Chains A and B, each alone.
Chain A
Amino acid sequence: MQKFTTFTGIVAPLDRANVDTDAIIPKQFLKSIQRTGFGVNLFDEWRYLDMGEPGMDNSQRKINPAFILNQTPYQQASILLTRHNFGCGSSREHAPWALLDYGFKVIIAPGFADIFYNNCFKNGILPVVLESAIVDKLFDLVTQKTGYTLTINLQDKCILGENNDSIPFEIDEFRRHCLLAGLDEIGLSLEYSDEIKSYEQKQKLQTPWLFTDLMES
């Protein structure tokens, strides 16, 4: 995973609450067995006027000019500003994959759905939770000046606006550490192999029914 330290980018405002993962990447695209290539279908039903199917030539499709990501310069946006409960619904990791593949590295909202929030970190995306009132202010700034940029400093846990105002944000230390160092979580957990094994031995004696093997006889 790529390391995340500081990052500057154009902020796209998506003024909707409860954006669900079906909206972020509709299910027909989940049939892919790859991790990449989802960006062109990010927000497919809002972004295009026709019905999207896997394998289409997306450059030939009719785009919806009213949708924010189809307006210049938001094709180049890398920070998404949105409303509460972003990423609710299905656990599909295709949602952060699609956001990342499109170019988003940071998502700012007053709140995220749990699974989505978690999935972002696994893919080097930083979800930033800010108070509603601050998100409202950012919406004002971003809608008043097209192409407004923000700088995210994960080291110092703050966001800088164009006027250099600093907004602090909170994040779990473990998650911050993993993002900063670009760590492989599986590798980290495997360092506890001995503890996992001794847990299994102990638990097998205490609660053997938890270890029923699901093998076909």
Chain B
Amino acid sequence: MAKTLYDKLWNMHVVHDNNDGTALIYIDRHLVHEVTSPQAFEGLRLAKRKLWRVAANLAVADHNVPTTDRKNGIADPISQLQVDTLDKNCDEFGITEFKMGDIRQGIVHVVGPEEGATLPGMTVVCGDSHTSTHGALGALAFGIGTSEVEHALATQCLVLKKSRSMRINVVGKRATGVTAKDIILAIIGKIGTAGGTGYAIEFTGEAITALSIEGRMSLSNMAIEAGARAGIIAVDEKTIQYVKGRPYSPTGKIWEQAESFWNTLHSDADAVFDMEVEIDISTLTPQVTWGTSPEMVTSITGLVPDPEQEADDVKRGSIEKALEYMDLQPGMAISDIQPDVIFIGSCTNSRIEDLRSAAKYVQGKKIAETIELAIVVPGSGLVKQQAEKENLDKIFIEAGFEWREPGCSMCLAMNADKLRPGQRCASTSNRNFEGRQGQGGRTHLVSPVMAAAAAIHGHFVDITENIEA
């Protein structure tokens, strides 16, 4: 029978089939960070359990780390304790950890692919919903809770229920200035934040093939924002070139074997999906969220919606609440929205390509006077190093941005980087929930180049109007 990519990945990892839709699934790679792991290690200690396969785990602290001067450690003692606890747990259990100060430290979903620690064909889990990111490499990757972190540590397996399958076929050619971020925001706008609940999404189509691996990661990263735990993309030549030569990638004979296997990691031509969605992006324009859920999104050329026009009571209520929180008027032009803060970073958009596209826009320009803070937070120490080699740091600093150390930073504001109540932010992250970037803070999700343009102009602008190809 013809199989979807999801079927193939699932089948090859079944350790024991319970024949009731659930199975014990083997986990090849487990990524660990400081926020969702302490209680799991504690659970292991209490039950006197050992790790099943120590060398399958990779740890890195990212959520709590400061992005400014790290010489004096972490100012907040509670954050420091959480990072110390991770260090201590990794030392005690023998897990490889990229500690603060290691050039390889960074956001877990940037670090995994960058190191070749996450590879095509793997099952990848992490106590973090954006683990979907690694699906861009043709891996079955999804976020788990802390109980499952403990389960994965102790057994190298998880009891999973097979998801239904959804294909999102993206056709058409992107206009210049339209990015993977705009594509995924448009998809979420179309299917809604619960549209993918219960599904594993596979992204297919010419528009996906045309994306770089980094762009594909931005896309898969936000599959969870459409409700799907996994967002996978078939392996192609770009995937293989991306993986080649990374520190933990196979070499020699094993590489050859891997490569021929990876070339089978796509859905069979006649595979049947439980749900099909098609989206044409040939007329897509840059997207900006106006509300407090990623599905509350529209085009840069659009308007803030009017709740009066919404027939559904629950939806109308949500729009009203969102506009009140965001302090926006119905019918206002999106391009009239003026952010106070610019955040370029997060596991969605902090890779080298993201920084290049933003730097290209700001080169030789200055940020608007109304901007209170503009920061660029590279996804990892290695991304930072690469950017500095290309002098991107200088371009950003010249323009008025701050150039920071790698970590999650203002994506969720667990460290010192947060919005003050009422501050409005153009952010390249993935969630615009109430309080996400700081209590009372207001978030507009955009692509890196859109955030860069908002910094320069002091309001959102349609970059497709005057971008050099």
Contact = CB atoms under 8 A, between A and B. Distances in A.
B275 interface: no
Interface string B51-91: 01111111000011000000000001011011001000000
Contacts of A41: none
B24 A26 contact: no
A214 B56 contact: yes
Contacts of A18: 193-194, 293, 318
Interface string B2-39: 00000000001001101011101010100000011011
A181 interface: no
A85 B194 contact: yes
Contact of A27 (B38, B76, B413): B413
A192 B18 CA distance: 12
A80 interface: no
B145 A93 contact: yes
Nearest to A121: B147
A88 interface: yes
A37 to B, nearest CB: 12
A60 to B, nearest CB: 18
Interface string B200-241: 000000000000000000000000000111000000000000
Contacts of B143: 91, 115
A127 to B, nearest CB: 13
A209 B161 CA distance: 26
Contacts, number: 208
B11 to A, nearest CB: 12
Interface string A173-199: 110000000000110111010011001
B197 A111 contact: yes
B138 interface: no
A185 B22 CA distance: 13
Interface string B108-134: 000000001101011000011100000
A48 to B, nearest CB: 10
A195 B96 contact: no
Interface string B137-156: 00000011111101100111
Given A30-B414, A33-B85, A115-B145, A45 B57 contact: no
A190 B155 contact: yes
Interface residues of B, number: 88
B250 interface: yes
B442 to A, nearest CB: 14
B121 A91 contact: no
Nearest to B412: A27
A196 B198 CA distance: 26
A211 to B, nearest CB: 8
B314 A33 contact: no
A51 to B, nearest CB: 5
B351 interface: no
B58 A214 contact: yes
B334 to A, nearest CB: 21
B26 A203 contact: yes
B103 to A, nearest CB: 14
Given A51-B439, A196-B15, 10 more contacts: A15-B317, A22-B435, A27-B413, A83-B314, A84-B314, A91-B129, A93-B147, A196-B24, A203-B12, A210-B28
22 contacts: A18-B193, A30-B414, A31-B78, A32-B78, A33-B81, A33-B82, A85-B227, A114-B198, A115-B144, A115-B145, A122-B145, A122-B148, A172-B21, A174-B159, A190-B155, A192-B16, A196-B24, A209-B119, A210-B119, A212-B248, A214-B57, A215-B54
Interface of B: 12, 15-16, 18, 20-22, 24, 26, 28, 35-36, 38-39, 42, 47, 49, 52-58, 63-64, 76, 78-79, 81-82, 85, 96, 116-117, 119, 121-122, 127-129, 143-148, 150-151, 154-157, 159, 161, 163, 193-194, 197-198, 227-229, 248-250, 254-255, 257-258, 261, 293, 314-315, 317-318, 321, 412-414, 421, 431, 433-436, 439-440
Instruction: State the 7 A-B residue pairs at the shortest beta-carbon distance, nearest first.
Output: A213-B55, A122-B147, A93-B145, A33-B38, A119-B145, A209-B250, A93-B146
